[in-house]
Each structure stands twice: as structure tokens, then as C-alpha cells.
Chains A and B, each alone.
Chain A
Amino acid sequence: MEDNTKEKIKDIIRDNEVLLFMKGTPVMPQCGFSAAVVGVLTHMGVKFNSINVLEDAEIREGIKEYSDWPTIPQLYVKNEFVGGCDIIREMHENGELSDYFNNAGISV
């Protein structure tokens, strides 16, 4: 991954408390797994920003290397990689996700 891509990813993760790398946008998700995470965050009333990786091929591949995670979507909370669709769903279903947000100082 190019250095400037890495820097771009680092900066954007640092500058956004809750950031979802997804395919499409929250209003128009282009993949069921991305839509599922948007659904969880919306259901919990969490304010989040998103990056449409379909609009930037460098970020689309770079974020996989950056997180050592092979798929999209990817959720970051306060600079920390939380997981992809299956982990977010599992955490939401067993109540871990609201605890996670509260512990991170994000009220839900």
C-alpha cells in the first residue's frame, strides 16, 4: 500500500469517532453486509460517518491491509477496529456493542 494511502486512512480514522468503511452509502448501501451494519448503528441511534470504498479503489484495498481484515464493511470506533458484519451483529445481539460504545464514551 502506498504511503500516502496509509496516511490518508490513518487520518480519516483518527478524525472520525465512529467510522464505517462500507460499500455504498448509508442511504444507498451496495452490499447486504454493509447494509446490515448500517442497520445496527441506526437502530442503536449511533451517529457515525462512512466511507464509500467503491469510490476509492486505493482505500478499498488499503483498509484491508491496514486492518489485516479481508472484507468490507469495517467498523472503527475511536481509532480501534471493532469488526466486520458478523462481529458487529454478534456483539449487538448479545448486548456487548452498547457496552462497547458506552465504554468508549459514546452514548447510545
Chain B
Amino acid sequence: MTMTSNEIEELILKSFPNAKITIDDLRGDGDHFAAQVVTEEFRGKSRVQQHQMIYNAMGGRVGKELHALALNTSAPKD
């Protein structure tokens, strides 16, 4: 099973409607993506927690339909 950049973006936006998202298809195989996500909802959260928030937004697809989603997450710079 694979995914598209749009599907990933839609899933993340569903949970984080105000997030700024950039998605890179690392290998063009629909299985390895990188995503940068910036949202106020990450403020005060550790990096592990921020990534777990994204994994939850992805509904358990990371590690299954998606082999890898390399994440770079942060709250907006003030």
C-alpha cells in the first residue's frame, strides 16, 4: 500500500487545520516521505510528543501503509 503527498497533507490538516505543511516524496515510491509541520499546537511539547501527535493524526498508517515519514516539527517562531 502507498500514499500520496496530498493524502498525507489532508490527514494532518484534519487534525491541525492551521498547520503549515511541506511534504517531500523522498523516493517517488509512495512509501517514503518527509514532512515539515509548523503549528501553534506544538508549543511547549517535546519533539517526541510533537511527532506522536502527527502519527496519531495519520491514524496508524505510519509504519503500515507508509514505511517512513521523516518529520521536522516546530511551533511558529515568535
A residues in contact (CB < 8 Å) with B: 33, 64, 68-71, 81-87, 90-91
| A64-B63, A70-B62 known; A83+B47 contact, CB < 8 A | yes
Q: Which residues of A contact B51 (CB under 8 A)?
A: 83-84, 86-87
Judging by beta carbons under 8 Å apart, are A81 and B48 in contact?
A: yes
CA distance A21 to B77 in the complex (A): 34
Query: Binding site of B, secondary structure by majority: helix, strand, loop or mixed?
Result: mixed
Nearest Cβ distance between residue A47 and chain B, in whole angstroms? 23
B residues in contact (CB < 8 Å) with A: 34, 47-48, 51-52, 55, 60, 62-64, 68, 70-72
Nearest Cβ distance between residue B70 and chain A, in whole angstroms? 4
For A61, give the chain B residue with the smallest CB separation. B63
Q: Report which of B52, B64, B68 forms a contact with A69, defined as CB distance below 8 A.
A: B52
CA distance A9 to B70 in the complex (A): 25
Q: Which residues of A contact B71 (CB under 8 A)?
A: 86
Judging by beta carbons under 8 Å apart, are A86 and B72 in contact?
A: yes
CA distance A86 to B63 in the complex (A): 14
For this complex, 11 residue pairs linking A to B, each with C-beta atoms less than 8 Å apart, are: A69-B48, A69-B52, A70-B60, A70-B62, A70-B63, A70-B64, A83-B47, A84-B51, A86-B71, A87-B51, A90-B72
Q: Which residues of B contact A85 (CB under 8 A)?
A: 68, 70
Interface centre among B34, B64, B68, B72 (most CB of A within 10 A): B68
Q: Which residues of B contact A90 (CB under 8 A)?
A: 47, 72
